[in-house]
Amino acid sequence: MQLPIELDRSLAEPLQNQLYEQLRGLIVTKRLKPNSRLIATRFLAESLGVSRTTVLLAYERLIAEGYVETRPAVGTFVCDTLPDQLPSSPSAAATVEVLPQSELRPPIFHGPAPPPTPDRRPLIDFWNGPDFRIFPLRTWQRITQHVLESFGKGITQGSPASGVLPLKQAIGEWLASHRGIVVDPEQVIVVTGCQQAHHVAAQMFLRRGDRVVVEWPCPESVSHLFDSLGAVQCPVPVDEQGIDIDRLPSGPVTMAYLTPSHQNPMGGTLPTERRERLIQWARQAGAYLIDNDCDGECRYRGMGPPSLKSLDPYGLVLCSGSFAKNLGAGLRLGYLVVPPELVPSAVAVKTLLDQGNPWLEQMVLAEFIASGEYDRHLRRVRKIYMERRDCLISRLQRNFGETQLFGTDAGYHVTWLLPPDFPPASAIQDLARLRGVGVYTVDTRGPLDHVPCRYADNALLLGYSSLDERQIQEGVDGLAAVVRECRRKAAG
């Protein structure tokens, strides 16, 4: 135990009195809690550089006044009940005037607090997180052991802010073979998930008052990020294929945030023709494009349209991605790919944020990708998730007939556009949770909650990646019962 005690030998007051007053202050202010054990007199004397007699005299006075007590063969402890009347002391800390909050400088940013962890999750939760049962635990353990045995000294040396070179190389090679994106490893910035990637990009370009295009709806975390930097957000609606290019604003725009692979949350995949028009718009508006490759590695049919980066002749596209969806949220590693001329700025921003990600996780992930284990894992994940997606679609059709679904070609969830005669999505969500079934509506909270959204109350998000087929069937059956109950209540 380290105690915040400082003795001043230049004062006329004896050292034993100073020690007594400071120990009593720690006890009275509860920094030394009742029944906590005090440091042995010999060790405290050595740490303070005083004689043991000085410490003994201070302890004896505390014992005499009822602040501490000795327990034979055990030690000295703070008393459970302190004296009712505390003796005044000329050296006690002076009373500090506490200013009201209104007289202090207020914080600049009033961002959202992290959502509270629910006391109890639904028994069947259609959340789109990864299934921990699929994580390649033994392979990860084997590679971790190999990295420690072969490169163990690196764990004491830290890592560059932009990421360790083996991981940057592995990500670059993977992007070239799977996305058609050819980049130098130096263009790859290793980040703590996509949110930090977007933070790095925004810090490079945005000033207060700059205009930023966001898809609408979009993730609340992205909207709050741009709001925290004072940007003016221009929400552009999406349809079943992604962002509506015809609704893009005219005039200068600094940045646009996009999820063309699998629009988050609606699930559409942006066609090639819209991607080409988007790049020409960005060129005219002077905007950089953040391409968040959301769920793009989990595609069930075909290769999908070419990436924005491969269609970009101007160097306007920054690519972000994360490994959390396929491996687990606990592995907070992702990447940001920037044009060559932006590398120094991106590295500088990343350095100010965190000085680099943990070395061991980076090295293990690098080996996991380079050895081909990541591709093998993705093939397994796609097969399992596709079977679960098919089970979900089949069960929905069995209970509700023909259903209008977005996002069935990729990702970990589908968006069900409810028929006009159905109850509101929010009512279904609330009643389903009471039955132990978790379904989700399109989240339009945050800085843009005043902007109308055509999907706000007629769409349900149904994730299938973390549920087995039996759970999916039972969950959809429970959802059908909820819809029937909502209709009975409405009719009554």
What are the residue ranges spanned by the domains of the chain? 15-93, 124-129+376-491, 136-372
Question: Are 124-129+376-491 and 136-372 in the same CATH fold?
Answer: no
Low-confidence ranges of the chain (pLDDT < 50): 85, 88-94
pLDDT of 212 reads 98
Consecutive H or E run containing 437: strand 437-438
What CATH class is the domain 15-93? mainly alpha
pLDDT of 178 reads 87
Cα 212–Cα 213–Cα 218 angle in degrees, nearest 5: 115
* Domain covering 136-372, topology: Aspartate Aminotransferase; domain 2 (3.40.640)
* Domain covering 124-129+376-491, topology: Aspartate Aminotransferase, domain 1 (3.90.1150)
pLDDT of 128 reads 85
d(CA 321, CA 374): 15
Strands 124-125 and 232-239: unpaired
pLDDT of 91 reads 47
- Residue 41, CA distances (Å) to 62, 80, 433 in order: 13, 21, 59
Contact by Cβ (8 Å): 363, 190: no
d(CA 23, CA 142): 51
Residue of 215, 239, 219, 261 lying closest to 409 (CA atoms): 261
Considering the entire predicted model, what is its pTM?
0.79
